[in-house]
Chains A and B, each alone.
Chain A
Amino acid sequence: MDRRSFVIGTAACVATGPALAQGAFPSHTVTILCAFPPGGANDTVTRPIAAALEPILKQPVVVETKAGAGGQIGAQVAAVAKPGGYTLLSHNNGISGYAEVDKLFGRTPKTTRGDFIPLARLIADPVLLLVNDQQPYKTLKDFLDDARKRPEAIVYSSGGLYGATHLPVAILEKATGIPKLRHLPTNGGGPAITALLGNNAQVSTQTLSAASQHIKSGNLRALASFGATRSKILPDVPTLKELGFNAEYYLWVGLFAPQNTPADVVDTLSAALDKAAVSDQFKSVVANLGQEYSYQNARGFAAFWAADAKISDEAVQLIGKQ
């Protein structure tokens, strides 16, 4: 927690910050604010990368949970943090959509994408279209046919409004042209899967790593993947692209620095992250989570984020105000 800047005065920090940083960044503890509570994908992958960063940066790297309001609190705190590279942010797809949702409700956006510099994408977990095994659908076509027959009758569960497990449904609705499904919001990925397992919802879009256990045990069925290619873990599940629908969506976790972080500090950090990402420690965690390695460096992530944010904005508009 470094809020010293507020006391000493922001002006002084801007003047001396870069000069100090040029010497030896980092000279003390680096804090990664994690915008989601422990147990979620963010926390799970941020802690090992922080542990792998420590020997590279030769300074302690601490993960501090700043969860709340669907990740907005963490984003807001990071956006106004002193841009010296000592406060970073671990966030996910949510960071793309806040401004668009605020616009929808006529609120002034608290953070925009311009507030952050992308450093690295740690993981990108493809989303799957899942159904409860008690449902008759065996293929995507079965499902789409029924959805057309019964508009707003099939219930899907999501981990929260405008969240990473809600937007893919809007994307799917648009790509396939089916009428709207009925939305059952829950408060998190776990509860959304529980609702699906209990057949309180019939459909859900959840990530591969969260669902693969339940697919293996036969309780859930995956009809299609939002990934670009078939996953090695579930080779039988077709992608939406190969079925002829233009839809791609991942739940990703990325690291960000506040805007105005000096360029050399950003370079130091992204070089360190590139090294940490190939460590056995990080790689084994990704593999154990049941994911394919999908790390992206700063440049690659920036391009990916720009494209993904556009998809996200469009999906938010499609969902509209409830």
Chain B
Amino acid sequence: MIELFLTLAPDWALRHAAPLLVVIPMMCAPLCVFIPSGRIAWFISILASALSLFMALLLLAQVQTVPGGQISYELGGWEPPLGIEFAVDALNATILLLVAAFGVLAVVFSWPTVAAEVRAEKRAMFYGAYLVCFTGLAGVAITGDAFNMFVFLEISSIATYVLVALGASRDRRALPAAFNYLVMGTIGATFFVIGVGFLYAATGTLNMADIATRLPELEGSRTVQAAFAFIIVGLGLKAAMWPLHQWLPNAYAYSPSFVVVFLSATATKVALYALIRFLFTVFSPEFAFEGASFGMLFMPLGIAAMVVCSFQAVFQTDVRRTLAYSSVAQVGYMLLGLSLGTAIGLSAGLLHLVNHALMKGALFMAVAGVVLTYQGTTLRDFAGLGRSAPWTMTAFAIAALSLIGVPLTAGFQSKFALLVAVQDQGLWWAALLIVFASVLAVIYMGRIMEAVFFKPPHNPQKIHKEAPITILVPLWILALANLYFGIDASFPIGLADSAASAVLGGGS
């Protein structure tokens, strides 16, 4: 099937898939400026995201068939390490596929919510900002150059601040939330760029693969250790690593529905990818200081995120805030997975990354449907919705079960893989804490589900109203994906395994 796909694809697409994936949305974004109508901008965004998804699929297929599993594209014909290189391996390709697929689903879903939440004259620019954000995220995931990564990271972040702030037409608290996000995000990016500067001072190169080959001879250099610390803190801020997650709950709670669906599935994931790239490819777990950081930094922080943020999620009255805190907790699971430093640990973390995008995407889409029809995100607004909007809420329930980790859902697969990986290292207490955090997930999702299905409607006059079809279709695609990958997880597990082995095998 992969071969068939590759033979069907045109030659130019095969050769230039890597730059086109970034360039197509980048060229469509300024087009949106010229267009007065939001609806046409919406079509352009769908088209651009779908083309990018096609390119991402091509890249994945190529990575799986090319010997060595690596594609390198020289921008401008300048050879790396002097020129900027787009380097794709199994890890990249998975993240790119995730970003592009969620771009398509989120954009298709977006029109009714954007029409309700964004003023008419701003809609075209709104989609322009989305495309810029998409460009940035795809660029972070595809580039092989450390400084280029910073530039793409900031492109996506600046677009994100604008997108979050546009939630102000529904709730003005979006403005301070976006401002805090801007300050924290910029500090994070600046820390990252300081780290890259230290690396450049120590190695004299910015190409990540080239840095990796030159670092072993600098073992013990304090410059490199300082670079490591700065990069970890910077990317940790962007990835909402506990306790650097303070910007996230408000930004997620008040931004427009479309933005939160897209961001929850992609933004922190891409930052986490960058973290994995630096931890395993650029630096190598064999360095003493990095090995120590796994056990003494990432594992405690990951576990703390799991437990503390799940607790915080229990006490929220706003459904979107509950889900936002739960997102930070899920980042904790992923960090725990990668902190094991083993192939199965990293693979479990990556699997959870993909699955979390699936379930959070579905959950936030369902919430968006509720926001659209009933204008409210508090727990009371959700009361009795199981009867008035059964389709939306059934999908919500499936995704919620997946988030908890009930068997036959995608969430179970990744949590089980994580348990196996943790047991493999003999860390039974960590395994117990994973189970404990899942029990907390039962509580906070259970509160919402109880309100949805067993409580009488808060306002009995609420009419029987389902979310529109453009919301229901992507929502159910994600909900069914949650079920399908819970029963037959060979596709995501295969992706995560090959990504983990590419990173761990290719790094040294």
Same assembly: no
